[in-house]
Amino acid sequence: MEKIYLDHAATTYVKEEVFEKMKPYFTEIFGNPSSLHSYGQTASYAVAEARNTVAKILNCLPTEVYFTSCGTESDNWAIRGIAKKKGKGHIITSIVEHPAVIETCQELEKNGFTVTYLPVDKLGMISVEELKNAIQEDTILISIMFANNEVGTIQPIEEIAKIAKEKKIPFHTDAVQAMGAVRIDVKEMGIDMLSLSAHKFYGPKGVGVLYVRNGLGLGKFITGGEQERGMRAGTTTTHQVVGLATALELAYENLEEKNVRMVEMRDYLIKNILKKIPYTTLNGHTTKRLPNNVNISYEFIEGEGILLLLDMDGIAVSTGSACSSGSLKSSRVLLSMGVEEGLAHGSIRMTLGERNSIDQMDYVVTKLANSVAKLRKMSPLYQD
């Protein structure tokens, strides 16, 4: 049976070229980059090169790039770092953020910080006007994701950054889903802090970056040695950062060309699902959307059943609906977009990758139609 992986927003495979680049740093160039001998030096050159690569792609200085263990750590550092520095105050974020941001803000609320969670419209967009109105005298941070992980909606980052700059409020963006899919120039866009994670763009799991604009004065996050200029202690994982940089470089090679193909595949899949399966609705924006994201609600049924039946056909997808994630509430993101609860429960996210093809999409739609029909036949809500 052909296996089709359509869950690239959850994680990607590591590209062969990336893996090859990483290998020597496990076995040959294994020295601790902090060591003075040649083992260490060779490793430290590789780390420096990786940092330069990331800096070049983000258009920042290498000294503004901090390697972390993942996107969640980067988000935690950015938000908690500003909170610690200011001691008190008000944070603006959105209701559709990743739990790494939402949960962190909720923790800070317990410690006396106040937080505004901006709502979104039915396409998943925050309103720049509402953001402006939410700013208070004591606002210490604005943190808005670049693109949403469930529905792929891309936020007006430049406008947000502009407002933040005018008001002299640090602006952080969780770009974990956008990185590798959208060109991001932190200087041009006016971003003060940005989180990214390698395993979303064909790099290894367990390594991320926090970009911090020089002069922002974000405090240290992990105390210990002098790694990451003393800001984030812990032995530098040479193979991981080399993997991250290699993957990032590859992701931005011919990006526009790859995106044309990805968007074509995405729109083909959306069009065919909506046409061939009745009672379906697209969630999210039609154009301001990540090139690989398809999120559709299937009326009268629950997403988990679709996921499991498709898996039996070799197709891996994800559900934003709750049942699979352990909590029983439906997707916070979809509900905040005004999607009815029943439809939010029946949503399936498919996120495409470079190995997918248009031909596979036809197979996916056929199998999906069968699974949906099978579950609808069992549903008390559905009448033929």
Partner 1 sequence: MYTKKVMDAFANPMNAGNIEDANGVGQVGNASCGDIMKIYLKIENDVIADAKFETFGCAAAIASSDTAVGMIIGKSVEFAKNLTNAQVVEELEGLPPQKIHCSVLAEEAISEAIKDYEAKK
Is residue 148 near partner 1 by the rule CB under 8 A? Answer: no
Residue placing its CB nearer to partner 1 in the complex, 32 or 379: 379
Residues 6+ apart with CB under 8 A from 168: none
Closer to partner 1 at the Cβ: 60 or 301?
Answer: 301
Separation CA 203–CA 372 (nearest Å): 34
Q: How far, in Å, CA of 212 to CA of 127, rounded?
A: 25
Q: From the list 139, 330, 336, 351, which residue makes contact with partner 1 (rule: CB under 8 A)? A: 330
| Euclidean distance between CA atoms 115 and 109, whole angstroms | 7
- Of 4-12, 181-189, 307-315, 352-360, which part binds partner 1 (CB under 8 A)? 307-315
Across 252-269, b (16+ Cβ under 10 Å) vs e yields beebeebbebbbebbeeb
- Residue 36 or 308 with smaller CB distance to partner 1: 308
Nearer to partner 1, 132 or 329 (CB): 329
312 binds partner 1 (CB under 8 A): yes
Q: 277-301 in b/e burial notation, b at 16+ Cβ within 10 A?
A: beebebbbbeeebbbbbbbbbbbbb
Q: Which of 304, 353, 360, 372 binds partner 1 (CB under 8 A)?
A: 304
Min separation Cβ 199 and partner 1, Å? 22
Could you say which of 300, 332, 349, 361 contacts partner 1 (CB under 8 A)? 300
Provide φ and ψ at 128, rounded to 5°.
-65, -35
Select the span of 57-65, 148-156, 318-326, 358-366 touching partner 1 (CB under 8 A): 318-326
Could you give the CA distance from residue 40 to residue 97 in angstroms, rounded to a whole number? 39
State in angstroms the smallest separation of the CB of 293 from partner 1. 23
Taking the complex as a whole, how short is the minimal distance between the CB of residue 343 and partner 1, in angstroms? 9
**How long a stretch of residues is the chain?**
384
Q: Closer CB to partner 1, residue 40 or residue 342?
A: 342
Site string for partner 1, 245-284 (x = CB under 8 A): ----------------------------------------
Stretch that binds partner 1, among 87-95, 127-135, 192-200, 316-324 (CB under 8 A): 316-324
Containing 33, the helix (H) or strand (E) segment is none
CA 86 to chain centre: 27
For residue 279, the minimal CB distance to partner 1 (Å) is: 13
Q: Which residue has the tokens 């959307």?
A: 289
Number of residues that bind partner 1 (CB under 8 A): 24
Q: Which of 60, 78, 322, 364 binds partner 1 (CB under 8 A)?
A: 322
* Contact call for residue 1 and partner 1 (CB under 8 A): no
User: In this structure, what token pair is assigned to residue 308?
Assistant: 């499991």
Residue 24 contacts by C-beta under 8 Å, 6 or more apart in sequence? Answer: none
Looking at beta carbons only, is 185 or 341 nearer to partner 1? 341
Q: How far is the CB of 327 from partner 1 (least distance, A)?
A: 8
Which residue among 60, 70, 105, 323 is the active-site one? 323
159 Ramachandran zone, left/alpha/beta (phi>0; psi -120 to 50): alpha
Contact 375, 306 (CB under 8 A): yes
316 is a site residue for partner 1 (CB under 8 A) = no
| Contact (CB, 8 A) for 196 and 71 | yes
Written as one letter, the residue type at 330 is S
Residues 181-200 that bind partner 1 (CB under 8 A): none
CA proximity to 88, closest of 17, 139, 37, 145: 139
DSSP code, position 7: B
Q: Known catalytic residues?
A: 323
Binding site for partner 1 (CB under 8 A): 300-302, 304-305, 308-309, 312, 321-324, 326-328, 330, 341-342, 345, 377-381
